[in-house]
Amino acid sequence: MRASLEVADIFRSAGPAYRAAHAGHLSLGQLKVMTAIENCRTAALGGHVEACDDCGHWRIAYNSCRNRHCPKCQGAAARTWLAAREADLLPVGYFHVVFTLPTEIADIAWQNKAAVYDLLFRTAADTMLTIAADPKHLGARVGITAVLHTWGSALTHHPHVHMIVPGGGIALDGTRWVSSRPAFLLPVRILGALFRRLFLTRLLALFDAGKLAFFGALAGLAARKIFLRYLSPIRKKRWVVYAKPPFAGPQAVLAYLSRYTHRVAISNRRLIAFDETGVTFRYKDYRRDGAERQQVMTLATDEFIRRFLIHVLPRGFHRIRHYGLLASSTHKEAMALARKLLGVAAPIVELEPEEPPDHRLPCPCCGGHMTIIEAFARWCQPRAPPQPASPIRENTL
């Protein structure tokens, strides 16, 4: 069911003026995202007409833009992705670990998204794999599914990586499965310290290789001495690594993944109002507890659009990655060994259906199957549906 207010409505109304006011300051990727969201499920992308096989009810269905930043286009992608991941779940507890960049580094990431976001992924994964392999801690090779989020609940720039990690791994000699403690995976303070050291060392290497650029208020960081002075206090700060309690089981892991893997900066469900005062939406204030955590915020329309667009990822950037036992190069062999060590049967491989699954909604009148009876191209409208024949009137003369 369509939300009463959508991001697309805001873009259609205020997008043209925003583009004109910020001409030359918007990237091609941001412009493409705006256009895709505006045109999503409208006649601009074409569509088809569906009719119920049982009651004859018909409806128009416009095509989706399938842009990964569109709030309306993530459902089908998430279902397909989750179906592929379900076979990788093991009968062990799973932990949720979050690696967050401090504000000072987030400012650099804003101007160097591809380089710093990639560094965040690699460094967080190396930190987990290194500490997990240490015999003082777990002494095992673990599997990691990592998802990048760049936003806070209020659409601010807040880059962090969510990780799903099984509570254990394969021993370094490959002979047994090593289980973690029921409610404890790895010490977060040690994870944070190694994460900080590795990240800052590699960030400096990026700087020395000329792969970082600085603009505006950060332009002075282009000088190496100033850059080192900027990093100095960050080396003394505690970098936050947060580990949540383990999930209740594999199905809970899937439920979590379905919410996080294909999430965008803000969903349409969080929007409340759009008028001359701006855009009003719900957000979570994590500094508060209980009912007070749910708050309402109103942003000027231009500011809302600006905040949404800062989370557009660089073209081709992968926001979901796998490491360790789940890395693509060794994935099949590692998971087969893990199941063998756990005494778990391999999942049954189902033959792919000849036809892709039908995700069309059932008939709203009778719940019947909807069949496509007509397709129409971009910027076109479907023909009017056939009218029922009028009854033949008898000649009374």
**Which tokens sit at 24?**
């030359």
In the prediction, which pLDDT does 103 show? Answer: 94
In sequence order, the 6+-apart residues with CB closer than 8 A to the CB of 305 are 10, 11, 14, 15, 18
Name the 3-class secondary structure at 297: strand
350-370 core/surface letters (b: 16 or more CB in 10 A; e: else):
eeeeeeeeeeeeebeeeebeb
Q: Copy the structure tokens of residue 303.
A: 């500011």
Output the six-digit token pair for 81.
């992705």
* 184: alpha, beta or left? (left if phi > 0; alpha if psi -120 to 50): beta
Per-residue pLDDT tens for 295-327? 999 999 999 999 999 999 999 999 999 999 999
Instruction: Give the separation between CA 271 and CA 285, rounded to whole angstroms.
Output: 16
Q: Which residue has the tokens 């893990």?
A: 338
Task: Give the per-residue pLDDT at 305.
Answer: 97
Helix and strand numbers, DSSP H then E, in the chain: 10, 14
| Type of residue numbered 325 | L
Q: How far apart are CA 27 and CA 91, in angstroms?
A: 45
Q: Closest by alpha carbon to 199, among 310, 301, 122, 88?
A: 122
Q: What is the DSSP letter of 296?
A: E
CA-based R_g, the chain, Å: 26
pLDDT of residue 350: 57
Residue 392, pLDDT score: 46
* Regions of the chain with pLDDT less than 50: 1, 388-397
